Copies of this chain bind each other. A is one copy, B any other.
Amino acid sequence: MSAKISPLAPTAFPELPDIGGVTFSTGEAGIKYSGRADVLLANFRPGTKVAGVFTKSKCPSAPVDWCKSILKRGTARGLLVNSGNANAFTGKKGADAVALSARIAAKALGCLDEEVLLASTGVIGEPLPADKFSSVIDDLVAADKPATWLEAARAIMTTDTYPKIATANVDLDGQKITINGIAKGAGMIAPDMATMLSFIFTDADISSHVMQTLLSERVEGSFNAITVDSDTSTSDTVLLFSTGSAAEKGIAPINEMDDPRIDVVRSALGDVMSDLAHQIVKDGEGARKFVQIEVEDAESDVSAKRIALSIANSPLVKTAIAGEDANWGRVVMAVGKAGERADRDSLSIWFGDVRVAFQGERDPCYSEEATSAIMKAENITLRVNLGLGTGQATVWTCDLTKEYVEINGDYRS
């Protein structure tokens, strides 16, 4: 947790309504940090369903292994998250630690071990002292005042400079349901998914199968379309919980993808996920600029996304943006190195609404002054037109500053 808040942080946090069927509590287990909450417990009512998406790392953390193994049940009664230690690359000790963590939480919640989802974020390779949960779990379960969404989001922060929360409402059957989400992440952020944790909650009653489909679909344009530093975490976890408490208001369950109400739910869920994903980029370590990269008329959508990520991950593009330098030559370089089909002589590039390059060379009307003005803004859009097909993609990233190097040169020690 950094002392200096990102200049791209939101100026105000939204009010998140309660979600029936889930309460939060936070505590200080002293895993690594002291004097701050480092553990979050979500307590779900019976019947809560869950779906999840995880890192594609070949060296996933022990909690990721645990969640994947229990997710097929599709039900959840608890979620225990700690910050300060990722419980990743911890071998048998790591597997033992997740088993113990789940047992501690399940005992206190009065549920099965396999109904407790787990997530950990922080240093890789240090054994997680899971017994420390024992000393706080009863207080967490018995908390007489549930933690707020902001407190929940704060408890899972590591190098984040601000808590990340988002909300959306949807009218279903003439009644309102809510989707709330929290997230953490600031570095080691890259598709596919990066050191990020996000937990999303709804009071709607949605089957775990439908939730899994919606989550997997919406992750592509949100959490899988952001990059801070191209480094993919061992711990990435997005979980979506449906408590079903809205059924009490007479809202029928959503059990099939052909339910006519799917579209509005999909759209609201996508909004919450995109909002949280953008907040993660805006808290990118050392970030001072939020950059949207649009690639269009590529050979295919997949090709467009690869090119967009090649631009978004280029240290030379990112340092130029940090320097407020409209160095579009480096965008050409990044298009060229992506390995995707590109034709130099049909390539055009815009910075904001200023076309800087047209069909393979500097735009005849190029104005250094107009382009420089765009680079001074906090929000910058780069647009690349390949002139080849109809493929398109949008990704989001931030600039690469000296502060990124500073933060990451002495994070662990």
User: A406 contacts the other chain (Cβ, under 8 Å)?
Assistant: yes
Q: Are A315 and B412 touching (Cβ within 8 A)?
A: no
B-binding segment of A12-20, A109-117, A335-343: A335-343
Q: Which of A66-74, A271-279, A316-324 lines the interface with chain B? A: A316-324
Quick check: B125 and A332 within 8 Å, CB to CB?
yes
Q: How far is the CB of A139 from chain B (nearest CB, A)?
A: 31
| A361 contacts B187, C-beta separation under 8 Å | no
Q: Which of B319, B337, B411 contacts A232 (CB 8 A)?
A: B337
Whether a CB of chain B sits under 8 angstroms from the CB of A264 is: no
User: Which residues of chain B are near A319, meaning CB under 8 Å?
Assistant: 404-405, 408-409
- B91/A409 in contact, CB under 8 A: no
Q: How many residues of A contact B (CB 8 A)?
A: 73
Q: Is the contact region of chain A dominated by helix, strand, or loop, or is it mixed?
A: loop
Copies in the complex: 2
Within 8 A of B (CB), among A306-365: 313-316, 319-320, 322-323, 325, 327-330, 332-345, 347, 357, 359-362
Known: A315-B315, A316-B188. A332 touches B408 (CB 8 A): no
Chain B hits for A229, CB < 8 A: 315-316
Distance in Å: Cβ of A374 to nearest Cβ of chain B: 14
Interface residues of A in 387-413 (CB under 8 A from B): 400-402, 404-406, 408-413
B residues less than 8 Å from A145 (CB atoms): none
Using a CB-CB cutoff of 8 Å, which residues 211-231 of chain A contact chain B? Answer: 229-231
Q: Which residues in chain A, 227-262, are within 8 Å of chain B measured between CB atoms?
A: 229-234
Q: Quick check: is A32 within 8 A (CB to CB) of the other chain?
A: no
Contact B342 A123 (CB under 8 A): no
* CB pair A357 B125 closer than 8 Å: yes
Give chain B residues whose Cβ lies under 8 Å from the Cβ of A333.
57, 59, 124, 188, 231-234
Q: With an 8 A cutoff between CB atoms, is A92 at the interface? A: yes
